[in-house]
A and B are shown apart, each in its own frame.
Chain A
Amino acid sequence: MPESQGTTSPLLSLKGVSKSFGGLAALKSVDLDLLPGETVGLIGDNGAGKSTLIKILSGVLAPDSGRLLIAGKLVDFRTYNVRKARQMGIETVYQDRSLGEKQPLWRNVFVGRPVTNRLGFIRVQARKRATMEILQQHVGLRGTGITPDARIKHLSGGERQGLAIGRAMYFDAGIIILDEPTTALSLKEVDKVLAFVGGIHHRNKACIYISHNMGHVYRVAHRIVMLDRGRIVGEYAKASLSLEELGTKLIQIQAVTEGQTL
């Protein structure tokens, strides 16, 4: 648990956020706080609204109603976008949509970021140096022969996630959101990614970790939030329950909501 809970103000705070697509409610009045140095695990079935929540936080979608505060500042959704989110220190790692397959690493690390001169021309050498730094310091790919000129399609799934997470660390994001980063990885690679995620809070950064794998979430999170059909249906401090109890709770909640709809 973060030591200072209750006294510090949240880094990020969602209040009454709703979003629907063509009459289908994806999120129904969701409230969520994220404290400094905290890792929140967000679990829920397919269609629970996890992805929609992430996209709102990272500036891809605007909600229909509700408020978002980042470091206490109210976000204006009319001007909020991915670039703004990054400026405010939010970095998002998507399961398979974080990197351009055919592009070299040095382009991927900086895409969508203005690391250029005034006329918009790219500083290639500076980018390659920074990419090398990410590879060596954050990803631990030293000696694997991967260079900034390598293309993403030649990297393994674990290396890709490592790069995407390393990129977030390099840009010194205060809040890192990870959307199913362990899907389609080998067991060994899962271990590596989880170890990486487990280290994020040590740097006093906050993290939202989304997965439908309860075991993974339980391993890295301080607090676990359950999402079901667009609502937050449960919130638990990890210290207060075991993995088995968490599993039982999830099944109970799903049984209840299914009972309601039947």
Chain B
Amino acid sequence: MISALLNKFRIQVGISGVLICLLGGFMLLSPRTFLSARIYISFGSTIPFTAILALGLTFLVIAGELDLSFPSVMAISGLAFADIFLYTQNPLLAMIAALLVGGFAGWVNGLLVVKIGVPSIIATIGTQFFWRGLSALLASGLARNIVSVRETTLHHVFVGRLGDLVPVQAFWCLAIALALGVILNRHVFGEHILFIGDDIHTARLMGIDTDRVRMLLFVFFGVVSAFVSVLICLEMANWWPTQGEGYLLLVFASIFIGGTSVFGGEGTLFGTLVGAVIIGIIEAGIISAGLSGFWTRLVYGFVIVVSVSVYSMVFKTGR
């Protein structure tokens, strides 16, 4: 019974093992940093941004699609948030507008991929340039300072500190992970995602409206990107033209370290969440161990290459 469970959840168990080893290593190397609560509170404020993006993108990857445009969708929807907030001083209105912009950008991706038939990797490279360019144009390349957003209820609801200590975005992240997990594993929408990623022709013959599901997925992830962008604007009280740019590779790394297959049809949100945590703690771990920041990318590379190699060997996914 236990061995069957271990076998079924071997990705989840394996990736958790990697996280525990990393944390253990960092605790040994720099006990002062990693045995105090402060570092974890700091993680709780930064990791949710990567993690929520990665959780949303996991849905697309399971369906066999990619979206490389989300950093730019974050930029344009964040700009919508910042400008509408500056203009109206109404943060809720600004947030709704940002989510609509994100949803629209996702819908454009869906249109290109689902209706016109452009492969998603190519379509979203195109829209990635487009939205980044448009937001730079509209902002004239200038950042937006929105300090007054710190005083709003919205700020406290999404990125406040519970008991003046614990970042609220960490709870949002966990709640989103849980909700998406239930949808993927227990809702027909999740089942349709799994079958589309498995084999889209079979999915169609089995009566799944594959076009509709894929459109919804792109719109959904556009909204998720916008949501994270709003969180970042709230947290930083600022919008800047390159917002989102650093997230592309970190988000993909989280997903693939987490054990979701690039071939589609299977994947784990738990793995993605742990993957995002691993990616999130490496930098702090390296710096506090006294190594230079240059090591960060090298260790990222190492962790990514080793984990995907192990998955390929265990699951024999080679062609």
Contact = CB atoms under 8 A, between A and B. Distances in A.
A55 B187 CA distance: 28
Interface stretch (A21-29, A91-99, A185-193): A91-99
Contact of B199 (A59, A100, A114): A100
- Chain A contact residues: over half helix, strand or loop, or mixed? loop
B205 A114 contact: no
Given A101-B265, A122-B188, A122-B191, A82 B205 contact: yes
Contact of B198 (A102, A120, A124): A102
Contacts of B206: 82, 98, 100, 111-112
A101 B198 contact: yes
Contact of A103 (B201, B205, B265): B265
A86 interface: yes
B153 interface: no
Given A103-B265, A111-B191, A122-B186, A98 B202 contact: yes
A101 B199 contact: yes
Nearest to B261: A102
B187 A107 contact: no
Contacts, number: 71
A111 B199 CA distance: 13
B208 A103 contact: no
A83 interface: yes
Interface residues of A, number: 28
A97 B202 contact: yes
A86 to B, nearest CB: 7
B205 A111 contact: no
B27 interface: no
A149 B188 CA distance: 17
Contacts of A103: 194-195, 198, 265
B205 A97 contact: yes
A86 B207 contact: yes
B9 interface: no
A98 B205 contact: yes
Nearest to B195: A100
Contacts of A81: 207
B203 A60 contact: no
Interface in A103-123: 103, 107, 111-114, 116, 119-122
B188 A60 contact: no
A100 B194 contact: yes
Given A82-B206, A86-B207, A100-B265, A122 B187 contact: yes
B294 to A, nearest CB: 40
Contacts of B186: 121-122, 124
Q: Which of B187, B206, B266 has the most CB of A within 10 A?
A: B206
Contacts of A116: 187-188
Nearest to B264: A102
Contacts of B266: 102
Interface of B: 8, 182, 186-189, 191, 194-195, 198-199, 201-208, 265-266
20 contacts: A58-B205, A60-B205, A82-B205, A97-B202, A97-B205, A99-B202, A100-B199, A100-B202, A100-B206, A103-B194, A103-B195, A107-B195, A111-B195, A111-B207, A112-B206, A116-B187, A119-B187, A120-B189, A121-B187, A122-B188
Kindly list the 4 A-B residue pairs having the minimum CB-CB distance in the complex, ordered from nearest: A82-B207, A112-B207, A100-B198, A112-B206
